Amino acid sequence: MNENITLNNSEWCMMEELWQEQPKTLMQLVHKMKEKQGWSKSTTSTVLRRMQEKGCVRYEEGEKARNYFTDLNREEVVLKETRAFLDRAFGGSLGLLVNTFVGGSQLTKEELEELREILHKEI
């Protein structure tokens, strides 16, 4: 993954659609984005064009329409974005992030148990 690629909220929405199933045509994306975000066709087209320019998506010519794909791996993008958030908001400290949630009673009992299980996993 290109280390310089970052996704804004609109791009995340588009990527989620492509990660669920690809390829998708412009009109399939237009319908999904209208349903989920209330976007017009021109908004979807603009976001898609900008994502092409950034290297997030590509297209191949189909019989009737362009088929849009992404070569970005969801897990890699999530990890990169999470690391960037952790660095920006918590000075890179995972402990501070967890302490903020635990100390602020932001986690449910189920989430705390899940966290315990994760921490006790053998690596």
Q: What is the mean pLDDT of residues 14-34?
A: 96
1 falls in which pLDDT band (50, 70, 90)? low
User: What distance in Å separates the CA atoms of residue 66 and residue 58, rounded to the nearest whole number?
Assistant: 10
| pLDDT value for 56 | 94
- Burial letters for 78-87: b for 16+ Cβ neighbours within 10 Å, e otherwise? eebeeeeeee
Question: What digits encode the pLDDT tens for the residues 99-110?
Answer: 887 777 777 889
pTM of the model: 0.78
When pLDDT is averaged across residues 54-73 and rounded to a whole number, the result is 93
Q: What does the alpha-carbon distance between residue 73 and residue 86 come to, in Å, rounded to a whole number? A: 20
Contact 25, 62 (CB under 8 A): yes
Judge whether residue 15 has pLDDT over 90.
Answer: yes
